[in-house]
Every structure is written in C-alpha cells, then in structure tokens.
C-alpha cells in the first residue's frame, strides 16, 4: 500500500511537470513557479474565444507574480495596476489578475490567475 501511494505521488509530479513544460514549449514563456494548471478555466477560455490558452493559478499576490514576469527576457509590459498586469511577446499575451471571475460560475475568485494566450 505504501509503495502505491509513493508511485501515485511521483506520477502526479511527473504529469504536472509535463503540463508546465508543454506550456512553456507551446507558448515560449515561462510559467510562474509553483502555479498550478487549471484545465477547466483553460478549456473555457479557449472555447469561448476560439484561441489557444493555458491558465494557471497561484496563491501568491499580483505584485510577486508581476515581478516574476518583468524579469523574463523578451516580454513587453502592456500595463499594470494593483489587480493585474498584461505582458506581450510576439503573438503571445500573458495576463495576471486578482481577483478574477470564473466564467463558468460567475463567482469572483480570490487567488491569482495567470492566462497565457497565443493568437
């Protein structure tokens, strides 16, 4: 039983690493360290706007996440305020927002959402 739990834990870490690496390869920007992929929000955004998107969530605040993206080479800041920021790299946009509204439920979320969109 203990080996099964260890295997499951390692498998989850492996899959999470593949998802993050895949987004970095697909979009050409680094995903914020420790942010978790949100499949539901990614799917909703992609389908509703007919775009390629990957959404990530973190409990870290906007200031910390924005500082991370400001350090990335090749990203152009498109503006920021206390609730979010937007960056651009070629045909890729990165938005950081907190709070944000879940498009499916209409509920205001209190963690930080990072959306990486390729046009």
Q: Is the pLDDT reported for residue 65 higher than 80? A: yes
- pTM for this entry: 0.80
For residues 114 and 58, is the Cβ–Cβ distance under 8 A?
Answer: yes
CA pair distance 32, 65, nearest whole angstrom: 7
What number is the average pLDDT over the span 87-99? 96
- Tell me what pLDDT residue 28 has: 87
- How many domains in the chain? 1
Condensed to tens digits (0 to 9), the pLDDT of residues 2-51 reads 544 443 333 333 344 444 445 666 688 999 999 999 999 999 999 988 89
Q: Average pLDDT, whole number, for the chain?
A: 84
CA pair distance 84, 65, nearest whole angstrom: 9
- Tell me what pLDDT residue 39 has: 94
Domain span at residue 77? 2-118
């Amino acid at each position: 039983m203990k080996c099964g739990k260890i295997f499951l834990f390692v498998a989850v870490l492996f899959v999470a690493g593949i998802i993050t690496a895949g987004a970095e390869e697909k979009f050409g920007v680094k995903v914020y360290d420790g942010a978790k992929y949100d499949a539901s929000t990614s799917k909703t955004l992609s389908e509703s706007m007919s775009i390629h998107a990957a959404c990530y969530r973190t409990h870290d605040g906007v200031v910390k996440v924005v500082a991370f993206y400001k350090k990335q080479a090749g990203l152009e800041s498109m503006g920021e305020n206390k609730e979010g920021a937007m960056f651009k790299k070629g045909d890729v946009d990165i938005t950081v927002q907190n709070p944000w509204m879940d498009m499916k439920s209409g509920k205001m979320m209190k963690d930080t959402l990072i959306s990486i969109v390729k046009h």
